[in-house]
Amino acid sequence: MGDQLEKPIIGISIGDVNGIGMELIIKSFSDPDLLDLCTPVVFGSTKAASYHRNAIEMRDFNFNICRDISQIQEGRANLINVYEREVKIEFGQISKEAGELALASLEAACTALEEEKIQALVTAPIHKKSMQSDAFRFSGHTDYLEARFKAKALMMLVSDEMRMALATVHIPINKVSEALSEDLIFGRLESLAKSLKEDFHLPKGKIAVLALNPHAGDQGVIGKEDDEMVLPAIEKAKEAGIMAFGPFPADSFFGALMHTKYDAVLAMYHDQGLIPFKTMAFGEGVNYSAGLPIIRTSPDHGTAFDIAGEAKADPSSFRQSLYLAIDLIRNRAISSEINSNPLKIKGKKK
């Protein structure tokens, strides 16, 4: 299908219908300029879409309703209905039914990815509690995608200001130290360097590594993890040709604007990386699951239950997720072409 249409085909899962996901989708694709860049395919519910259009008073917006991907059209926002049951929408509420629809949307989009009918996936926010069921026992999208596509993902937040990757993600703070190891940190650096090369065309990307402890442990006075795990992983990465530097004390790193001197930053745990990232780029950042065989992006925020259905949601981060997905499709295609057709080195004439 991708060869028949000129623009990249982006699949979109709708997330939690009691949140702002459908509002973000409708607002984003009401802009015709975005439809000039890609062909969107929303995997969702026509009834839920209609409910949200009315709630945010955008009744003039219409999807091209399709039975399957063969009916999608360029220049239109396409919607494939994946949920035939009645949908009870209760803005701001945790709901098992909302979780079932969110999972149906995600599974349909992933099937389309597996069948190469879409070229990337943009996921609207889910509520982790609503999603929990016998069919979904994951902490979020990333864990699910890792299991489905049988690869380890590297959570990376991307903005114009920085690329922030995480060594550990959704685990309690008191479990971070035991979850870290030299091998894990080295693996994250390998994955990050590979993504910088293939996804962002930075073959010699410079990576700053943040220390786990205050003052990078002060030579073991405030913890030994930086000396025994983080620094050895950095040295191992350098031996492998990866341009990794650190470990840098996290408190002074951003205050001194050192992030501007590097192509990416690796933080040791969730809030260590996301607090500075969102301080600088909230509402404009993108969550990218690097390291997977597929392209998946999402906005850098959650379901925003507190403003759901009130037409207050800012679609900026969702739009940036679409832009990044489009860029990654093209960058990966170029990288694949370069790697599959290397130039032959001609011998010197004698």
Residue-wise pLDDT tens digits, 38-73: 999 999 999 999 999 999 999 999 999 999 999 999
* pLDDT value at 278 more than 70: yes
Q: Output the pTM of the full model.
A: 0.90
Residues 174 and 255 in one domain: yes
Is residue 47 classed as helix, strand or coil in its secondary structure?
helix
Q: What does the alpha-carbon distance between residue 251 and residue 261 come to, in Å, rounded to a whole number?
A: 16
Average pLDDT value for residue range 274-278: 95
Residue 2 and residue 138 in one domain: yes
- The verdict on 128 and 2 lying in the same domain is yes
Residue 344 pLDDT:
47
Domain holding 77, by residue range, is 1-151+292-350
pLDDT at 5: 46
Structure confidence at residue 340 (pLDDT) = 72
In contact, 43 and 37? CB cutoff 8 Å? no
264 and 301: one domain?
A: no
Contact between 193 and 156 under an 8 Å Cβ cutoff? The reply is no
Final residue in a domain of this structure, among 286, 301, 323? 286
Predicted confidence (pLDDT) per residue in 198-240, tens digit: 999 999 999 999 999 999 888 888 889 999 999 999 999 999 9
Question: Residue range 91-95: average pLDDT?
Answer: 95
Confidence of residue 283 (pLDDT cuts 50, 70, 90): confident
Mean residue pLDDT across the chain:
92
Helix, strand or coil, per DSSP, at residue 333: helix
- Please count the structural domains in the chain: 2
CB 284 within 8 A of CB 320: yes
Nearest to 107 by CA among 51, 50, 149, 156: 149
* Boundary-marking domain end, from 286, 309, 325: 286
Q: What is the CATH number of the domain that holds 298?
A: 3.40.718.10
Please give the pLDDT value at position 343.
54
